[in-house]
Amino acid sequence: MDWIWYSRYIMNRSNLQQTTPAQEQCTATPLGHAIRLLGDEWILLIVMHLLPGPMRFNALRTELGHISSKTLSQRLKGLEELGFIRRDAFLEIPPRVEYQLTEQGQELGAVIEALEQFGKKHLSGQKPTSCSPCALDTE
């Protein structure tokens, strides 16, 4: 019975890879943009820790655990360019830089809250599955 699938495959293989119909809808809309923004583990984590108030660079690093300075400064720069956080650098010895959420950034709190509600409701005692490739030691 292989020929059934085979023939269909051959007949339909002509024009299948060309049409990219809703792809731009997935990436060009504000929602798509937002999804790609939050499609990064660190972004939300950073915003979450910034919600209570301003924080310094290394304080963030400590709170976030094992993030590298490269990754952190990357994300912070990105968030700053988007206007979601503000960077205040004090030219002192030793240097001090504080990051805090702008009004726009604060509104991400709503998303985080929704996320938290959801997490508490459905992900409480669950163990990671194939969705969570987290290999962190839980000592």
Contact residues toward DNA (CB under 7 A) are 2, 5-6, 8-9, 12, 17, 40-42, 56-59, 66-71, 73-74, 76-77, 87, 89, 94-97, 99, 133, 135
Of residues 21 and 53, the one with the C-beta less far from a copy of itself: 21
Pattern 79-118, a copy of itself, x by CB under 8 A: x-xxxx--------xx---------x--xx-xxxxxxxxx
* Pairing label, strands 85-90, 55-56: unpaired
Minimum CB–partner distance for residue 87 and a copy of itself (Å): 14
Among candidate residues 51, 60, 57, the one with its CA nearest the CA of residue 110: 51
Query: At 125, is the secondary structure helix, strand, or coil?
Result: coil
Within the chain, strands assigned E span 55-56, 85-90, 96-101
